[in-house]
Amino acid sequence: MRMRTRAAYGFLAPYLLIFATFWVWPIIYSFYLSFLATRIQPWSFNPTVTWGRLVVDPAFLNALKNTLIILVIQVPVMIALATVLAVLLNSQLLKARGIMRFAFFAPVVVGEAAYAAVFRLMFNADFGVINKLIGSIGLSPVAWLGDPTAAMALIIIAVTWRWVGYNAIIIISGLQAIPQDVYEAATLDRVSKPRQFFFITLPLLKPIILFCVVLSVIGTMQLFAEPFLITNRGGPGQATETLGLFLYRQGFTVLNFGYASAVAYTIAALAVLISLANLWLGRSAR
Smaller CB separation from other proteins, 22 or 198 = 198
CB closer to other proteins out of 96 and 285: 285
φ and ψ at 45, to 5 degrees?
-70, 115
Q: How far is the C-alpha of 207 from the C-alpha of 283, rounded, in Å?
A: 9
Of 16 and 185, nearer to other proteins (C-beta) is 185
Omega before residue 236 within 30° of 0, cis: yes
Q: How far is CA 165 from CA 10, 82, 92, 229, in A?
A: 40, 6, 18, 21
199 binds other proteins (CB under 8 A): yes
Q: Which residues in 132-191 contact other proteins (CB under 8 A)?
A: 179, 181-182, 184-191
**Which of residues 6 and 206 has its CB atom nearest to other proteins in the complex?**
206
Size of the site for other proteins (CB under 8 A): 18
CB of 176 to other proteins, least distance (A): 15
Stretch that binds other proteins, among 106-114, 201-209, 235-243, 273-281 (CB under 8 A): 201-209
CA distance 233 to 224: 9
Q: How far is the CB of 92 from other proteins (least distance, A)?
A: 13
Q: Select from 195, 253, 276, 283 the one that contacts other proteins (CB under 8 A).
A: 195
Contact between 283 and other proteins per CB under 8 A: no
Rule CB under 8 A: say whether 92 interacts with other proteins: no
The distance of closest approach from Cβ of residue 284 to other proteins in the complex, given in angstroms and rounded to an integer, is 8
Q: How far is the CB of 222 from other proteins (least distance, A)?
A: 33
Query: Using a CB cutoff of 8 Å and minimum separation of 24, what contacts does 80-84 make?
Result: 81/160, 81/164, 81/168, 82/164, 82/165, 82/167, 82/168, 82/170, 82/171, 82/212, 83/168, 83/171, 83/202, 83/205, 83/209
Choice between 151 and 205, CB closer to other proteins: 205
Q: Which is nearer to other proteins, 186 or 215 (CB)?
A: 186
DSSP H helices, the chain, are 3-19, 25-33, 51-54, 58-89, 97-105, 112-122, 129-136, 148-176, 180-188, 193-196, 202-221, 225-229, 243-248, 257-281
Contact residues: other proteins, CB under 8 A: 179, 181-182, 184-191, 195, 199-200, 203-204, 206, 286
